[in-house]
Amino acid sequence: MIRQSPPIDLSKPYDAAWVKDKTILITGGASGFGAGFVRRWAENGATVIVGDINVAKGDALVRQIQKETGNQRVNFVHCDVTDWQSQVNLFKEAVKLSPHGGIDTVVANAGIAGPDPMQKPTDLSAAEPPKPDFKIMDVNCTGVLYTTHLAYYWLPKNPNSTACSMDSDPSKQPRDRHLLLLGSIASLAAIAAQPQYGAAKHAVLGLFRSLRATSSLQGVRINLVCPYFIDTPIIPPSIRVVLAGAGTGKVEDVVDAGTRFVADSRILGRALVVGPKLNVKQSHEGEWELVARSTPGSHETALWEAYADDWEEVEAFSRGIVRLLNAYQVSRGWVGWATDVVKAVAYGFGFGR
């Protein structure tokens, strides 16, 4: 039953213009790499409906992109992803705004991070602990489940679309049925001091792995992007200091990974991890090694295929990625650490946002 395309050959280019005439619904698209997605897809002729709780940012982004690209088929709709009816209204409005009356791609992008109540000291002298704020779980897990449930209702209803197929021609098939989930490096490995965020992103990974087993029965292809720490406002200055010297990923690389999935209708049931750009070479044993740019046979990449072995060696994969990132931190040394600390402090004062 599982229809999964072969491992992604990242050396083969794709054409972002394949998104032309697609209708794409994205949650949480008002900032961060969500905004990068919207801009890239609008530039290439897609109809994009942005659902976000931040009205000011969402409206400003859409107006700016309409002006810059000349694409007037970019729209903002207020949406609280933790509210079922709010998401239902978003999907209904997207269908109304779609030139062909359907939705080709749904991107469950909305997510938040922040101080975790599970890590706060508890007053043990109190009669009972106060009710914790699980907003992170509400947005990153329940909100994604709402989006996914609605996607599997509206995507099969997309008029003139056909069931997903690895044999499709993305240059000739604008009508699509595609769900793109946004996981995280926290989907693969634990992040200290963020148990709620990690639990939510592990849940997204579990959702993806479960759905891809039966997704093709409904003609819907599903894919996953797992960003490492990306240089966006979601990373507060305090975490930037902790990450100093380790490097962060770039928005444009997340946008590149997401756009490959949205544009290329031949990719089913795959996932990409996005981290900082590293110059690597694969050893005879298949391990990736951090090497100098002048090393023969090496190449620079920020993307790794997470499921090339269908998760049979998931722990080995995670160890390999962590080993590369640790090696990168060591290579940057104290100079890299000091540079990142200065940037983090400047970010805290509003510079560089």
| 140 secondary structure, DSSP code | I
Q: Which residues have a Cβ under 8 Å from the Cβ of 213 and sit 6 or more positions away?
A: 1, 2
- CB-based contact 5:269 (threshold 8 Å): yes
Is residue 14 part of the annotated active site? The answer reads no
Q: Among the options 22, 201, 250, 343, which is catalytic?
A: 201
Please name the residue that has the structure tokens 């928005």.
251
Cβ neighbors of 61 (< 8 A, separation 6 or more) are 29, 30, 31, 35, 38, 50, 76
Candidates 255, 272, 335; CA nearest to 44 is 255
218, 96, 197, 73: which is closest to 144 by C-alpha?
197
User: Rounded CA gap, 8 and 17, in Å?
Assistant: 19
Among the listed residues 124, 288, 147, the one whose alpha carbon sits nearest the alpha carbon of residue 207: 147
CA 157-40-279 angle, 5° bins: 115
CB atoms within 10 A of CB 59: 16
Is 152 one of the annotated active-site residues of the chain?
no
Among residues 14, 146, 197, 347, the one annotated as catalytic is 197
How are beta strands 271-282 and 299-305 bridged, if at all?
A: antiparallel
Strand (E) or helix (H) holding 55 = helix 55-69
Dihedral angle over CA of 59, 225, 185, 81, nearest 10: 40
Please give the positions annotated as active site.
197, 201
